[in-house]
Amino acid sequence: MDLLHRTPTFLLRSDRQSRPMVNHTNHCEHHCCPRGRRDFPAARTTPAPACRTSVPPPPTRSESMRIPKIAIGAILTSATLVLAGCGSGSDTGGSSTAQGAGTIVVAMPLPLTSGNATTAQQILNAGELAVKEINAAGGAGGKQLEIKSYDDQLTADETAKVTQRAITVDGAQVFIGAYTTIEGLAIRQLTDPRKIVFMSPSTISPQLTDGSQFVFRTTHVQTDYPALFAAAAKNLGMKKVVVLHDDSPSGSTLWEATNTALTEAGVTAGTEVGYALNATDVSSAIAAVKAQDPDGIVLIGSSAADAGLDIKTMAEQGLDVPVLGLSSPVAPDAVRIGGDAYKQIKIYSIQNKQPDKPAYAEFAKKYAAEYGGTAEEAAGGLAEPAGATYDAFMLLKKALDVTGGDTDGDKLKAALVALPPYAGVAGKEGSTISWANGPNGFSNAMSTLEYDPESGLLITAP
């Protein structure tokens, strides 16, 4: 049986009829996709307008070898055009109409119809799980939380559109979400001027937080990774490593520091090879890696679909060497696309997650009870940002308890910064989250995990 059929169904499913205080705005009039399906459409056939004056009803539950890096200015320009077209607004800390109500709207833009759809769904599920617990215990700062989710399609343009809609139409007062820096930068361009707090459980590029007072990470920043890649490669016995990367903000900037770290660790660094984000053919890139005869690859990419295609193409070309990457090579969508290649090629992942950590195991147990499957499947199979999303909501609740439910950006920011170190779900055992010294919550909290093709789960690497 191939891995497409081995993927635990709980990773893909959420089939309850309704959940109080959760509103899924898929922003996808022609494709109201049931939540958790494998066959999300790649894009809708008719683009939604950037701004709307009414809220539609919610959907039914739903290569060259060196590619120049994505122009960050283009991402910001998309958001700026949306802001200019719809009016920048003067509200701070969310919609003034929602501020006085007993509900706090939390917007979650996610790539629900992209090559990362399953991971995006798990992020959303983790957020819903947290909100259910928070609301059942009396809310945050005396108010109930309500999630409104949006399909950003993993593009800057669509992310800017749904972010503007979330703020001006749906009254979002806090943002938690975005899978990649592409989305995160588009969100920040619209939230920062309004002093709306944006909490990121997934994006690692320092560009997301540079110069911002209102963006907070519940994951690592990318500068933590090169030394960890090098140490893991050395521990795994790799002698010559080629860095394979996409042209995302992280991929195009992280490869050079990784090569430096490999060299300093005594590992020979080959010539890096790049490919375009959301590629449909990586055969020339894999051939260029193979020509260097490495005994290991460091894969730096944002898209799970790309990572799965990379590994599948490696197997097709007979490049049978271990791969060490971020979370994307072991994300459910990557495994689905890579198929039997995951039985042939050893995959390792540096993650802000430890499956056997007691707090994570308890979270996995709750997740499995809510969405199906076993606690073991959840602990070893959930994508890395799921636990970090749960932590983000729990920290938001603590900060709102301090502000009395006030989402004013300055007050909420101050409350988040002043929180004591928090031992959450994400990170390795003994790690804590704190923003006292900056926007990056974690430091030195990652583990090296190995993908087990028999169980389809992650285990601690030897």
Burial 408-447 (b: 16+ CB within 10 A, else e): bbebbbebbbebeebebbbbbeebebbbeeebbbbbebbb
The pLDDT value given to residue 388: 96
Q: Is the pLDDT of residue 84 over 50?
A: no
DSSP secondary structure letters along 97-151 = HHHTSSEEEEEEEE-TTSTTHHHHHHHHHHHHHHHHHHHHTT-BTTBEEEEEEEE
The pLDDT value given to residue 358: 96
The pLDDT value given to residue 3: 32
**Domain edges within the chain:** 3-220+381-418, 224-351
Give the β-pairing of 447-452 and 457-460.
antiparallel
Round to whole Å and give the CA distance between 7 and 9.
6
Strand (E) or helix (H) holding 84: helix 72-86
Find, among 152, 107, 95, the residue nearest to 131 by Cα: 107
The values of phi and psi at residue 126, to 5°, are -65, -40
Q: Is the pLDDT of residue 292 over 90?
A: yes
Mean pLDDT across the chain: 82
Strand ranges across the sheet with 22-24: 22-24, 144-151, 103-110, 174-176, 197-200, 215-217
Percent of the chain clearing pLDDT 90 (strictly above): 67
* Number of neighbouring beta carbons within 10 Å of residue 404: 12
pLDDT band at 229 (very low <50, low <70, confident <90, very high): very high
Q: Is the pLDDT of residue 406 over 90?
A: yes
pLDDT tens track for 38-76: 332 233 333 333 333 223 333 332 333 333 334 445 444
The pLDDT value given to residue 364: 97
Q: Tell me whether the CATH fold assigned to 3-220+381-418 matches the one assigned to 224-351.
A: yes
Round to whole Å and give the CA distance between 378 and 456.
11
| Average pLDDT of span 75-91 | 45
The pLDDT value given to residue 256: 96
Q: Is the pLDDT of residue 99 over 70?
A: no
Q: Is the pLDDT of residue 135 over 60?
A: yes
The values of phi and psi at residue 271, to 5°, are -80, 125
Provide the 3-class DSSP secondary structure of residue 310. helix
Q: Is the pLDDT of residue 12 over 70?
A: no
pLDDT tens track for 143-197: 999 999 999 999 999 999 999 999 999 999 999 999 988 999 999 999 999 999 9
Contact indicator for 43, 29 with CB cutoff of 8 Å? no
Round to whole Å and give the CA distance between 282 and 311.
10
Round to whole Å and give the CA distance between 136 and 80.
39
CATH architecture of 224-351: 3-Layer(aba) Sandwich (3.40)
Of residues 222 and 16, more confidence is placed in: 222
Find, among 258, 383, 237, 260, the residue nearest to 322 by Cα: 237
The pTM is what?
0.74
Q: Is the pLDDT of residue 29 over 90?
A: no
Domain spanning 3-220+381-418 has what CATH number? 3.40.50.2300
The pLDDT value given to residue 26: 39
| Average pLDDT of span 78-95 | 43
pLDDT band at 365 (very low <50, low <70, confident <90, very high): very high
Percent of the chain clearing pLDDT 70 (strictly above): 78
The pLDDT value given to residue 100: 46
Which structure tokens are listed for 381? 């199979």
Strand (E) or helix (H) holding 200: strand 197-200
- Cα torsion through 156, 158, 160, 166, rounded to 10: -150
| Average pLDDT of span 294-304 | 94
Round to whole Å and give the CA distance between 104 and 47.
29
Round to whole Å and give the CA distance between 441 and 45.
39
Of residues 74 and 306, more confidence is placed in: 306
pLDDT band at 101 (very low <50, low <70, confident <90, very high): low
Q: Identify how many contiguous H helices and E strands the chain contains and give both numbers.
A: 16, 14
